[in-house]
Structure 1
């Protein structure tokens, strides 16, 4: 069935009277970033995220949220609220009340296109695909509207229905900011595009971004005195004098929001606040450039049982060397959630101070699952399950609500609360929460839906179909909120389960338009290059997978150092580190590790930390669209080489190469010569001699889609590479005999290359 909501007066007299029990209520919608429901203690999960991402049950990394708990108990909290799996499509769902079959934002890097005024194919802005946005609804009802925080929207931000705004980076359109050097820049070095920290001018391993936490980029939209355009903040002599290392972006957002609220109260006008906080999103830590954590620390806050106090940040230093004097927390998403709790406490205090708490609706939710756990995942509800807490004076619901809610429901809810007009022939996929919140109605909707490219995810109260095509029994809630029983035999579940399966399958075709209607309707655009599609089902040790050949090491019995067959989980976990630039690049499905390049400027990096000198490593691999991978052996403490690289084996479908990186291409002096375009002929000849002496290669034929078995043996000054039991090439070079190595792992280029059965052995000398 097609869900089209018609907003006229088609509501009962009871609902109408209760919905309008509030006198044109103010509405504050706080949309946090990358926070799974499990990160809030309220949801009772036995597992949450540690500072480096993944899973932990260590209470030291669990958030403390007394203000949100109080808000949930006085209002209500929804057990199963869904967004989409990643930022852009979730924000599109929120702002439009529609799914991707209408707005065409399928994934962050997979958005529908249209022809702009110059005839150029570009991303279809939401105000073009969906001209009735959440801001427009409130504006047309006579509300003053304000948008603060992260934008991440294509097009003109002034066309989204907001009177004013205070934005921290959602794109990279702020390179000219004169007030902060917490930003990054790219430049080519020896033909390779590299990323640099503007604060230190040092190369970094991250994704291109500008600072939104400490010493943030802040741009104001249509602020007083500049009502038609944008301007940088700080914009006054007073604010410029106060701006610096102690300035925290989330504080700036809230200050401008509170100022807007006060001005609207003075004018006697109701307001709608759309606060899209960055809190929860991982970021480069400019104050600690070497940090391996995903989430930089926040200002320190203290809860005394009645309220919060906050330590004034005190940061000193420059050029990457900073001292926070104990005024900033350690890293971790739990501190981000704690700081959101502090801000929600500030919101409630402000509403009380202004005397409007009894006429203001306060909503707290998030856009998708946590980075390193659920973000970008179509597995079960990892990417879609987010927190939702609503405090609406006069509502009939309190505490936990075992109902289903989509973020698409926010637009029709705001429309009904404000009296905003949505044309009767305009398709909206959300359903207003007003009847549920203000009456004795015990349920809200029959199913919730999410999407990730061409993956569709849908669940009811009994069964769920995830983006991998698997079915799950969701009739009970597991302790970790995700370990539902998989349904493999439908005869073993109830008839009600089977009936709901059929109902959900009947819903999906209307939204399944990724292949047939990917872009804006009515125009002809050349198709984008299709990404290789992963197989939907795999079995362990499938036919065609290479068996482990017995290869004599020539050095006696090998002692096992490490073994991983990637069974029983969906992410690599704490045994590995993944570069920030490889967010979402490494996943596990059916016991296979999948690596795909997600950053255009660098391959996807994964490393296992381990101290060793000699080592013998075996693994299975398959080229599945990817073009190349390096297996590197590094010493992170060695400063004479770039990024600690000691030696590597590089594999493409047609060639295997071995490199002594310490004495060769990654040696800092050699790299300097390679990057020098003014080398004379003698120097160039000398450089080529060095490079030739530190490399070896051989041709191979590795078929796409076929499993092969690799063995990489490092002994003394010799590195050897075997494929399917045969030695292909070896290199004897002094740099390989570096006395210490601290990590090994893969760097993948392209999408994707698959791995399994990783084993490492110590080789006796």
Structure 2
């Protein structure tokens, strides 16, 4: 890493610059006119080319002209993993935050499996890096971090979280609560006590929830704001959360300037995020209006907000804009203008670096999408005194690059044995370098997204020619025939393929090192009482996908006449309450958000034919595993498995593939050669197969899993789905089989196990 201080001492006057990093929420690059897209987002989400719904960003445009803006900057596809990438400078294979609802876990001091906090997985967070260099640090806005917020390297904070735990806020009733009506949970608006159709949230825009960290002498604590007689008097419907954040940031900047200490501001604004519109409860828009601001060609004026009313009936008196993300972007532009004015006022504009970026694509367009770069493509604008780069920069940048960039700007050295996946942007910004990165990478759960200058592989496994930029920034031509593209395209494809295996650890290293837990799933809002709709008689008829000979019944269980599985099964430690029997149905469910449900049937076999009925009753998917507990060449004795979800059935040869100890060692080898990486990816691809299905949650389905020789075949409801051959499947002995349920509930019945006679 090149230390910025060394660069500065040689060529530039700037040293130990103040740093302001504005990290906006859910804003695709296409929402900024700077990026020249022919399409952007309307108030209801989706696509529009209506000019009146396009943002106007004169302050950001000026910042980009005096500094620079990056054509292709990537985050991850959704909030939590992107913020983890920014905070750590690392990808999910290290910090384990794969998706908002799919985060790795560890065992805490109380023996409970909980989300692995980033300060545990990555002890050098972006705040710590600045603190190490002697900077005062401030964090404002959205948090969305697990664990103790005081452990992230920030001296103070002003948070507008809207978190669901913030029900004790005494200053606002812009909250939501759940209540049972006729035995079912419904969501209610605390302001009106009326049911609403949205997701559970509290207000962070108007009349917001605001919590301060280590403020005004409370060195170790948190407090609600307003916290003084004056602020309590003025707080109310006219209080706008993004304004409160900036007021506290500016107060912090004033204090640091007075003390002569450099500062780092991490401003994780909510602006851009969709939300319930408390002032207009019936509004169909995704983005509530903002205070009215107007640009006169030289600067902004803001209309003082005037909101009156109560209990869901409000009059904004023309002081709040119409809804839409374009107005959120406009308000961010107004705040950038305020920032720059404040720097001039304090006399530190020539010694301050400003960075504007966002965490993922726009809701209703790119957020959570692994399609091409819809979810990953975000704006990035940087202004730093002494830069050699100005205007548009056609380079590749990752949000993981921000931590090492901050390290270089502050003069902090990251130890060589501490893995960081980002690359400092400082050498590019301040020298004559013309290239920054060869590739950028994103992720969404198990989906991996990667691109270079010429080609891109998205999370759906499709390849795209990105050598030219389409008008809408997304309609790249798909590459279906590699013979019609250039050698350079093919060479870059091979390079990207070789990169991916080192990060592809979602399936086998999901949690903290040494912790082997199951993936988390979303709890359903309601679990209906099961009603069987399939024949419960023993099924011995031949299956269309079968290549087996005569069958002999070895074991059967209709789960009748009891409430527990019994001693004939083994239940994983810590999940004893996860398996119950009611009315002849076996229920497997996660007993809490931090653990899955595991059940196994000990039985010695080589080939086997298994049938059972199942139904998704809130659970996301289940694995049917076939193991040999005595086999030491694989992790946990895993030989092969079938994974079934409502949309996909997958099978894998674990012995030859991902669970093989030698393969796992290669996957963990950070110094694996390019040839080794390519060979590893080929091995993994050759030892698994999948096929799409469409299985409705309320319906019962019938599965048949046949293992014979080196073949594993799966059929659902009498139709062949996957038929896969691989050498590891023919392992001569297996000692148990069973299910692992991810999610709230999956129901099972009519388990039958047959031997296969040659």
TM-score normalised by the chain length of structure 2: 0.70
Distance verdict in 2 for CA 1:346–1:597, change over 3 Å: farther
**2:277 — aligned with what?**
285
**Structure 1 494/530 Cα, relative in aligned 2: closer, same or farther at 3 Å?**
farther
- In structure 1, C-alpha distance between the alignment counterparts of 2:100 and 2:401, rounded to whole Å: 21
User: Structure 1 residues 497, 415: CA separation in 2 closer, same or farther (over 3 Å shift)?
Assistant: same
Q: Does 1:454 align with 2:524?
A: no
Structure 2 counterpart of 1:198:
190
Matching residue of 2:394? 402
Does residue 381 (structure 1) correspond to residue 373 (structure 2)? The answer is yes
Do the aligned residues in 2 keep the contact of 1:297 with 1:332 (CA within 8 Å)? yes
1:114 to 97, 106, 112: 106
Q: Is the 8 A contact 1:86 1:369 kept in 2?
A: yes
Q: Name the CA distance, whole Å, in 1 between partners of 2:321 and 2:4.
A: 51
2:173 to 178, 181, 186: 181
Q: Could you tell me which residue of structure 1 aligns to residue 341 of structure 2?
A: 349
Per-residue deviation at 1:354? 0.5
Match of 2:754 in 1: none
> Is the contact made by 1:87 and 1:367 (CA closer than 8 Å) also made in structure 2?
yes
Tell me: CA distance 1:625–1:129, structure 2 relative to 1, closer, same or farther (3 Å): farther
Structure 1 CA distance for aligned equivalents of residues 511 and 346 of structure 2: 46
Pick from 196, 199, 219 the counterpart of residue 207 of structure 1: 199
2:61 to 69, 72, 79: 69
Select the residue among 235, 244, 258 that pairs with 1:252.
Answer: 244
Deviation at 1:62, TM superposition (A): 0.3
- The 1:39/1:529 distance shift into structure 2, 3 A limit, reads closer
Change (3 A) 1:151 1:430: same
**2:102–2:519: 8 Å Cα contact kept in structure 1?**
no
Structure 1 residues 347 and 750, CA gap change in structure 2 (3 angstroms) = farther
From the superposition, tell whether residues 328 and 419 of structure 1 become closer, same or farther in structure 2 (CA, over 3 Å): same
How far apart are residue 86 of structure 1 and its match? 0.1
| Offset, 1:145 | 0.1
How far, CA to CA, are the matches of 1:238 and 1:530 in structure 2?
43
> Is the Cα–Cα contact under 8 Å of residues 19 and 434 in structure 1 kept in the other structure?
no
Is 1:624 paired with 2:616?
Answer: no
Change in Cα spacing, 1:503 to 1:254, as seen in structure 2 (3 Å) is same
Q: How far did 1:171 drift?
A: 2.8
The 5 A counterparts of 1:106-185 are 106-169=98-161, 171-185=163-177
> For structure 1, which segment, 471-480 or 12-21, has the greater mean C-alpha deviation from structure 2 after superposition?
12-21
Report deviation, 1:420.
1.8
2:8 & 2:322 partners in 1: Cα distance? 49
SS of structure 1 residue aligned to 2:85: helix
Instruction: Please state how far the C-alpha of 1:525 moved relative to its aligned partner.
Output: 3.1
Q: Deviations over 1:533-555 (max 9, x none)?
A: xxxxxxxxxxx9xxxxxxxxxxx
What root-mean-square deviation, in Å, do the aligned CA atoms of Structure 1 and Structure 2 show? 2.6
- Number of the residue aligned with 2:34: 42
How far does the alpha carbon of each residue in 1:70-122 deviate from its partner, in whole angstroms, 9 at most, with x for none? 00000000000000000000000000000000000000000000001101000
1:22 Cα deviation (Å)? 1.0
Match status 1:98 vs 2:168: no
Residue 414 in structure 1 maps to residue 396 in structure 2: no
1:82 partnered with 2:152: no
Q: In the TM superposition, what is the alpha-carbon distance from 1:522 to its structure 2 partner?
A: 1.7
For normalisation by structure 1, the TM-score amounts to 0.69
Once residues 598 and 304 of structure 1 are traced to their aligned partners in structure 2, the CA distance between those partners, rounded to angstroms, is 55
The CA deviation string for residues 667-702 of structure 1, in whole angstroms up to 9 with x for no partner, is: xxxxxxxxxxxxxxxxxxxxxxxxxxxxxxxxxxx9
State the distance in 2 between where 1:626 and 1:34 align: 31
Give the distance between the partners of 1:334 and 1:301, measured in 2 at CA: 12
Q: CA deviation at 1:225?
A: 2.4
SS in 2 for 1:472: strand
How many Å separate the matches in 1 of 2:461 and 2:373? 12
Structure 2 residue 261 is matched with structure 1 residue 269 = yes
> Which runs of 5 or more residues in structure 2 are unaligned?
524-543, 545-615, 621-645, 647-691, 702-715, 722-743, 747-758
Question: In the alignment, which residue of structure 2 is the partner of 1:335?
Answer: 327
In the alignment, the residues of structure 2 paired with residue 57 and residue 412 of structure 1 have an alpha-carbon distance, to the nearest angstrom, of 38
After the TM superposition, which segments of 4 or more aligned residues of structure 1 sit over 2 Å from their partners?
10-21, 523-531, 595-599, 622-626, 702-707
Q: How many residues of Structure 1 are paired with residues of Structure 2 in the alignment?
A: 551
Partner of 1:437: 429
- For the residue of structure 1 that corresponds to 2:168, the secondary structure is coil
TM-aligned CA distance change 1:526 to 1:45, over 3 Å = closer
Matched, 1:235 2:227: yes
User: Contact (CA 8 Å) 2:137, 2:155: kept in 1 or not?
Assistant: yes
Task: Describe the SS at the equivalent of 2:367.
Answer: coil
Q: Which residue of 2 aligns with 1:686?
A: none
Asked if 1:317 corresponds to 2:309, the answer is: yes
Partner of 2:706: none
CA distance 1:137–1:315, shift in 2 (3 Å):
same
Instruction: Decide whether the 8 Å contact of 1:20 with 1:417 is kept in 2.
Output: no
Aligned-pair CA distance for 1:625: 4.3
Match of 2:295 in 1: 303
CA distance in 2, matches of 1:363, 1:45: 21
SS of equivalent to 2:494: helix
Q: Which of 1, 20, 31 is matched with 2:23 structurally? A: 31
1:419 Cα offset (Å): 1.0
SS at match of 1:187: strand
How far off its partner does 1:170 sit? 5.5
Indicate if the aligned counterparts of 1:624 and 1:704 stay in contact, CA closer than 8 A.
no
Match of 2:469 in 1: 477
The equivalent of 2:384 in structure 1 is 392
Indicate if the aligned counterparts of 1:653 and 1:704 stay in contact, CA closer than 8 A: no
Distance 2:411 2:237 in 1: 44
Does the 8 Å contact 2:617/2:697 carry over to 1? no
Question: What is the correspondence of 1:485-634 to structure 2 with a 5 Å cutoff?
Answer: 485-526=477-518, 624-628=694-698
**Contact (CA 8 Å) 1:625, 1:750: kept in 2 or not?**
no
Counterparts of 2:146 and 2:28, CA distance in 1: 25
- 1:203 to 1:421, Cα distance in 2 relative to 1, 3 A: same
CA distance in 2, matches of 1:18, 1:284: 52
- Cα separation, 2, equivalents of 1:441 and 1:364: 22
* Shift, 1:395, TM fit: 0.5
CA distance in 1 between partners of 2:53 and 2:308 (Å): 27
CA contact (8 A) 1:78 1:405 kept: yes
Deviation at 1:422, TM superposition (A): 1.7
